[in-house]
Chain A
Amino acid sequence: TQLLEQSPQFLSIQEGENLTVYCNSSSVFSSLQWYRQEPGEGPVLLVTVVTGGEVKKLKRLTFQFGDARKDSSLHITAAQPGDTGLYLCAGSGNTGKLIFGQGTTLQVKP
């Protein structure tokens, strides 16, 4: 069974701080996606990484896929209150179905 573990589960920081969220697995994934979910809404796709070692940037967000395609990280620079939400990583495995991590709840205080 392919599992994804996210850490930390909860993160509360001040506006302007940097943070990193990790997504780890013992399994190889063909691709890995990061979603952001706000209360009462569905997850919204932020990025998809496909190639081992790939780095993608989305404004203040930097996503990296591990060389072995078993892990990923999301780094946010100078966090803002608008970044508050639940961040989910999801891996596309050998069965094709998307497997989600438990999520990281981020609170950015002004």
Chain B
Amino acid sequence: DSGVTQTPKHLITATGQRVTLRCSPRSGDLSVYWYQQSLDQGLQFLIQYYNGEERAKGNILERFSAQQFPDLHSELNLSSLELGDSALYFCASSVALLGNTIYFGEGSWLTVV
């Protein structure tokens, strides 16, 4: 158990819909990261927050957004869902902003039908 909690574990939704994935980082960790993992793209970095502020952006679509709340939990919002958005979405956390070990949650399986 990494200490990073993600909900829901599995989600099936229709194209065009919107979903929210939730992440609670390890106790004491200020950085939260979101990654998308699909069979053809591997593990892709989406976005990083540190202490409530966005600090790095990766290959995140405009239809996706995220935020980190004052209690440090984070949400990833996926809207206007397409079939190609079906993937495993991971949240990870670390203590500081740069050059640290990050710990992954178990992921949220999203299936868009």
Chain A residues at the B interface, C-beta cutoff of 8 Å: 30-31, 33, 35, 40-45, 48, 88, 92, 95-103
Contact = CB atoms under 8 A, between A and B. Distances in A.
Given A97-B48, A97-B56, A98-B33, A43 B43 contact: yes
Interface residues of B, number: 25
Contacts of B92: 42
Secondary structure call for the B interface: strand
Contact of A103 (B42, B45, B103, B107): B42
Contact of A97 (B4, B43, B45, B101): B45
Interface of B: 2, 4, 33, 35, 42-45, 48, 55-56, 58, 90, 92, 97-99, 101-107, 109
A52 B108 CA distance: 36
Contacts of B104: 35, 42-44
Given A31-B99, A103-B42, 19 more contacts: A35-B104, A40-B109, A42-B2, A42-B90, A42-B106, A42-B107, A44-B2, A44-B104, A45-B101, A48-B101, A96-B99, A97-B33, A97-B45, A98-B33, A100-B35, A100-B42, A100-B44, A101-B42, A102-B42
Given A42-B2, A42-B90, A103-B42, A96 B106 contact: no
